[in-house]
Amino acid sequence: MEILGVDIGGTGIKGAVVDTETGELKTERLRLLTPQPATPQAVGEVLKQLVDQIDFDGPVACGFPSRIINGTVLTAANVDKTWINVPIERLFSQILNRKVFVANDADVAGLCELKFGAAKGRKDVVLFLTFGTGIGTAIFYKGVMIPNTELGHVELNGGDAERYCSGIVKEREDLKWKDWGKRVNEYLQHMEFLLSPDLIVLGGGASKKFDKYSDKLQTRAQVVTATNLNLAGIIGAAIYGERCLEEEAQQGTSKPAAKKTAAKKAAAKKTAVKKTTAPKKEE
Ligand code: BGC
């Protein structure tokens, strides 16, 4: 299936048409700047420009850096606060004049690693993490994802974990890789305490420099870097879109079946009534 996958971030909105069977990009990756302030309408308009420039009229799916439940944004840790309670799927669907699917950015990037990357085929507990402006988290077990885990906001060192060891904290505090690695190790150990993952996949920019801090990581779980790096968000969004379309199709085909059952039940009820009333007449 070909779906336009879009990765909406704080500085850039990136997209490409993805073949969800192979994970290949069918068009070049296009990146437009995220508008500032990144209000819902402004982001929606840049999304429209991106879709128009790619010139694609098929389904669109996006990753967005917030907790998203039933197509609505519920948190805004690193995005404009006006996003809270915005029905993002409805807004984007109206702007693009087609159905648009939206899920958490880390969840969709994790889906990509699970289908095509470092966690391909894994059935045990996989924890996918991104260390960028925030810490994104996604969890899978037997290939099933528990969405919106938001474990970048657990308490660590007396505060929000992502303010202690995200990628941007390393830059802001000018930490050496080994010092940042020690913080990441604390975080990973806390994740192990909570979730006992078998595999931890590190995404985001910092995974490119893994060898500079990997010796500071002491975990039971195997720790590896993501294979799709900056494309995971785009490819994963498309995979998410495909899942949603498949679910919709299944629901569509299950409706007539449900009606049949209801009709059969009604017919059975009629027969039962006839059967019980008939002997009464005879009495
Ligand atoms: C947000 C998450 C997001 C992560 C990575 C966090 O601040 O709360 O929703 O997945 O950043 O972008």
**What is the homologous superfamily of the domain 2-108 according to CATH?**
ATPase, nucleotide binding domain (3.30.420.40)
**Residue 113: its pLDDT value, please?**
97
Supply the residue whose CA is at minimum distance from atom 10 of ligand 1.
136
CA of 136 to the centre of ligand 1 (A): 5
Paired residues of 160 in beta bridges? 155
Neighbours of 174 (CB within 10 A): 8
Query: To test the ligand 1 pocket, which listed residue (135, 137, 160) has its Cβ within 8 A of the most ligand atoms?
Result: 135
Q: What average pLDDT does this structure show over 106-126?
A: 97
User: Residue 97 has what pLDDT?
Assistant: 97
Atom number, ligand 1, closest to the C-alpha of residue 148 = 9
CA nearest ligand 1 atom 6, residue? 134
Quick: pLDDT tens for 5-42: 999 999 999 999 999 999 999 999 999 999 999 999 99
CATH architecture of 121-226: 2-Layer Sandwich (3.30)
For the segment 207-228, the average pLDDT, to the nearest whole number, is 95
The Cα–Cα gap between 244 and 201 comes to 24
Residue 252: predicted pLDDT: 84
Mean pLDDT to the nearest integer, 97-118: 97
Ligand 1 centroid – CA 173 distance (Å): 20
Domain ranges of the chain: 2-108, 121-226
Q: Do domains 2-108 and 121-226 have the same CATH topology?
A: yes
Residues with CB under 6 A from ligand 1: 65-67, 75, 77-78, 104-106, 130, 132, 134, 136, 150, 152, 162
Closest residue CA from atom 4 of ligand 1: 136
From residue 144, alpha-carbon distances to 27, 63, 103, 141, 172 in Å are 29, 18, 15, 5, 36
87-105 pLDDT, tens digit per residue, is 999 999 999 999 999 999 9
Nearest CA owner, ligand 1 atom 12: 65
Q: Tell me what pLDDT residue 253 has.
A: 58
- Going by alpha carbons, the residue nearest to atom 9 of ligand 1 is 66
Q: How far is CA 229 from CA 9, 44, 165, in A?
A: 14, 25, 19
- For residues 203, 208, 117 and 55, what is the CA-based torsion angle, rounded to 10 degrees? 80
